[in-house]
Amino acid sequence: MNIISQNTAFGGMQGVFSHASEACHCEMTFAVFVPPQAIKQPCPVLWYLSGLTCTHANVMEKGEYRRMAAELGLIIVCPDTSPRGNDVPDELTNWQMGKGAGFYLDAAEKPWAENYQMYTYITEELPAFVSQHFRMDMSRQGIFGHSMGGHGAMTIALKNPERFKSCSAFAPIVQPSTADWSAPAFEKYLGADKAAWRKYDACALVEDGARFPEFLIDQGKADGFLETGLRPWLFEEAIKGTGIGLTLRMHERYDHSYYFISSFMDDHLKWHAERLA
């Protein structure tokens, strides 16, 4: 593990690290906040998945999670959103595809399949790697994210209910197979057969029998992507009669930015901490 930076914050440590990823065939960067409680005992782990165009740094610099994470004793892991490097395929003029737009899936189509294995990276490789280096209680894991990362968090939780005890999202893409900013990427990554898309679509996963106890979703009503990309009401409809719990909070005047995310970050951390206790 390469140490890029380490800083003390709220009695804990905010670090940025990199390692050679076997899944993505490139050097991958991630951030970890370790609360002061981890000096004495393993702490629960909360995974934060970022949205389109982001890296590990966006939430680290603007998410305002450290004070509450230190108070609650939560380790926060912030992976990158895609593979990186000069040899990694990309669409330079398309922010919804390629670098910064991994959609937390395992690509099956060329040229993307060689590097874009983000589902495997997030669910298998990175947890195995970071648990060797930090005092983590891997029996207590939660996951959350924003936008594309909210999509990733929800689909990963639905597919791994035995691993994650909590899941929440800020403005998630709940049905990416039909959303205008994700469907084209799904076709390029996964191929034209939409049956393959369903395992990376929260609404479709529920329709196909996947279950998770409950979700917390916060959504801004002034979000410019609400009507065509996010559409949380589709997930609300999909879970009817399934027993899946949902707290969906719609907020007047809030948009898609980190001003919105940071406003409700404390709520999400407390919500996760109750379920990871």
Could you give the residue numbers annotated as active site?
147, 223, 256
d(CA 32, CA 248): 28
> Pick from 182, 15, 18, 200: which is nearest to 108 by CA?
200
- Cβ–Cβ < 8 Å for 241, 207: no
Total residue length of the chain: 277
- 111 preceded by a cis bond (ω within 30 of 0): yes
Q: What residue has token string 């996760």?
A: 272
How would you label 39-59 residue by residue, b for 16+ Cβ within 10 Å and e otherwise? eeebbbbbbbbbbbebbbebb
d(CA 51, CA 13): 24
Helix (H) or strand (E) holding 13: strand 12-21
d(CA 45, CA 127): 10
d(CA 230, CA 2): 36
Helix (H) or strand (E) holding 235: helix 232-238
